[in-house]
Structure 1
Amino acid sequence: MRSMTATVNLPGGTALPLIGFGTWELPPATAYEATRTALEVGYRHIDTAALYQNEADVGRAVKDSGVGRDQVFVTTKLRPRDARQARRALESSLRLLDTDYVDLWLIHWATGPDDLVPTWEALLSAKDAGLARNVGVSNYSPAQIDHVTGATGRSPAVNQISWSPGRHDPALLEEHRRRGVVVEGYSGLNNTDLRDPVLTGIAERHGVSTAQVILRWHLEHGIVILPRSSRREHIAANLDLDGFDLTADDVAAIDALAKG
């Protein structure tokens, strides 16, 4: 698998890069510089959200990077508190990002039960209007995905959820695959003990960092990753996953770190 260029096709045919650059908790100036760096070293998938309050800086970085807008997959997210004004919220995000569309618009986490279907219908309407090329959810359970799919006949393209070796759940991954929903994993590094001897041992054998082992493990499971850093060397290293392959035994050992 060529990590830097590998993609997964979303239901509508859009190619989603398996490695994205996350911008959570990056303040405005840092978000701009880090996103510029990410695009310089080869990322073509940038993830932000209204909640992060850095959409304008991310958008400016994309614009200033010199990389064509059509070459960068941009994701943003709807805050649940804005659910009843979803279209207005998206229009605000588009102004801040300085773009006519986003490649993926997600509901950041599930709204109250009464708003689940209307909010999803608002995202579908935005997709039909060309403001979002793909729409999905974040932090949803399979049951919530089934609820909105059953009500509208259209399922989310993506569910962005917390994923890490300690939280690996093959059954949950299969639930998404059976529904045709791509899993994006966030906080894979934050939620992992980078000093775990299983991980450090694998890293030493391959001559790479523990972080690279964890990220490569996600890719081995077909999970989209969104590593975040403000340091150029880490930003580059998190993308540079092509030079080694985890063995089946490596993957099984990491899988076994899951807390049952």
Structure 2
Amino acid sequence: MPASTSVKLNTGAEKPTVGLGTWKSQPGAVEHAVEYALKNGYKSIDTAAAYQNEKEVGQGIKASGVARESFFLTTKLDNPDQGHPAEALESSLEKLGTTYLDLWLMHWPAPMTKEGGPDHSIDWLDTWKAMEKLYLENPDKLKAIGVSNFSIEFLERLLAEAKVVPAVNQIELHPSCPQLELVEFCRKKGIVVTAYSPLGSDGSPLLKNEVVNKIAAKYDVAPANVLISLQANRPGVTVLPKSVTNERILANSKIIDLTEAEIDELHAIDKTSHFRACEPNWTGFGTLGFPDAKP
């Protein structure tokens, strides 16, 4: 499967395959990263209220001088804001300095209090229904809505009652966490998957993996390019490499076409080395339906 440059959402919109991720990107550094990425060809920027850098992302967008309509912007509803999504949406728009979002995601199916504990007075499904209402009544503000960190179990519950099928499910994907069944489930339901942490983690052992380096040597690219390209070669999948370094931001945008045999070889890494960069195990919520999560 050759790598794609964009993937069509169930709304009809095109989401660029490679975007700049900003998780763990610090204020100051993230502003420059967003500005540099947009000035150098990136067409997709991803952030979240929980990252506490929406304001700086917005400053980077403004500093780039790039027209808002020329790139795809995603942010996420934070867990403590699930009881008041309308106010949270307005806050994100203000901080980002934009009048609309191309995509708004529920960050986790885990309503929480401001103090960080589980808020069992709120059902995340009711939050999704509130997001649907905002989407349907405000097409000028929301071009698409979706979810993040949703397992098959949680998607099945959502789809049983949803008026709007999520456009995207953003999940952790890399050779040590390929989530093949979840990706296939989303594909069958018309839900695009966006891969975060495609390298595995900071200082990931995948960058030194023998299989990854063998393929990198064949194509004369860095191991990171192989890991990012793996996701771009999967149908219906987009990917979010994260960096605040100019050289790496540019390098991460280089996608190569992998053979089916190479894709299978990369996914086989999970059989001997499985790990998650972001463990979906929340106090009061359990493992959120992920069968490989640690209890």
Which SS does the other structure have where 1:38 is aligned?
helix
Q: 1:200 aligns with which of 213, 220, 223?
A: 213
Q: Check if 1:118 corresponds to 2:156.
A: no
Which SS does the other structure have where 2:207 is aligned?
coil
How many aligned residue pairs are there?
256
Query: Who is 2:153 aligned against?
Result: 143
Q: What aligned pairs does 1:83-122 form with structure 2 within 5 A after superposition?
A: 83-112=82-111, 114-122=122-130
2:128 aligned partner, one-letter code:
W
Query: Who is 1:132 aligned against?
Result: 142
Deviates more, 1:191-200 or 1:212-221: 191-200
Residue deviations 1:101-146 (CA, integer Å, cap 9, x gap): 1110001101257512211012112212122110000001122122
Which SS does the other structure have where 1:200 is aligned?
helix
Q: What aligned pairs does 1:47-62 form with structure 2 within 5 A after superposition?
A: 47-62=46-61
Q: 2:258 aligns with which of 223, 243, 246?
A: 246
2-structure distance, mates of 1:164, 1:10: 22
2-structure distance, mates of 1:118, 1:172: 23
Q: What aligned pairs does 1:203-218 form with structure 2 within 5 A after superposition?
A: 203-218=216-231
2-structure distance, mates of 1:94, 1:141: 28
**Contact 1:160-1:186 at 8 Å conserved across structures:** yes
1-structure distance, mates of 2:110, 2:214: 42
2-structure distance, mates of 1:240, 1:202: 15
Which SS does the other structure have where 2:200 is aligned?
coil
2-structure distance, mates of 1:29, 1:172: 36
The alignment's C-alpha RMSD in Å is 1.5
Query: Who is 1:76 aligned against?
Result: 75
**Contact 1:33-1:61 at 8 Å conserved across structures:** yes
Query: Who is 1:234 aligned against?
Result: 248
The structural deviation recorded for 1:148 is: 2.0
Deviates more, 1:75-84 or 1:183-192: 183-192
**Contact 1:116-1:148 at 8 Å conserved across structures:** no
The structural deviation recorded for 1:234 is: 0.4
The structural deviation recorded for 1:149 is: 2.2
**Contact 2:132-2:163 at 8 Å conserved across structures:** no
Question: More helix per residue: 1 or 2?
Answer: 1
2-structure distance, mates of 1:190, 1:174: 20
2-structure distance, mates of 1:227, 1:153: 32
Query: Could you list the runs of 4 or more consecutive aligned residues of structure 1 that deviate by over 3 angstroms after TM superposition?
Result: none
The structural deviation recorded for 1:2 is: 6.4
Q: Percent identity?
A: 38
Query: Who is 2:239 aligned against?
Result: 225
Which SS does the other structure have where 1:188 is aligned?
coil
2:129 aligned partner, one-letter code:
E
Deviates more, 1:85-94 or 1:246-255: 246-255
Query: Who is 1:22 aligned against?
Result: 21
2:212 aligned partner, one-letter code:
L
2-structure distance, mates of 1:229, 1:258: 24
Q: What aligned pairs does 1:141-220 form with structure 2 within 5 A after superposition?
A: 141-191=151-201, 192=204, 193-220=206-233
Q: Please, what TM-score do these two structures have when normalized by structure 1?
A: 0.94
The structural deviation recorded for 1:19 is: 0.5
**Contact 2:74-2:104 at 8 Å conserved across structures:** yes
**Contact 2:73-2:101 at 8 Å conserved across structures:** yes
1-structure distance, mates of 2:258, 2:168: 26
The structural deviation recorded for 1:66 is: 1.7
1-structure distance, mates of 2:218, 2:231: 18
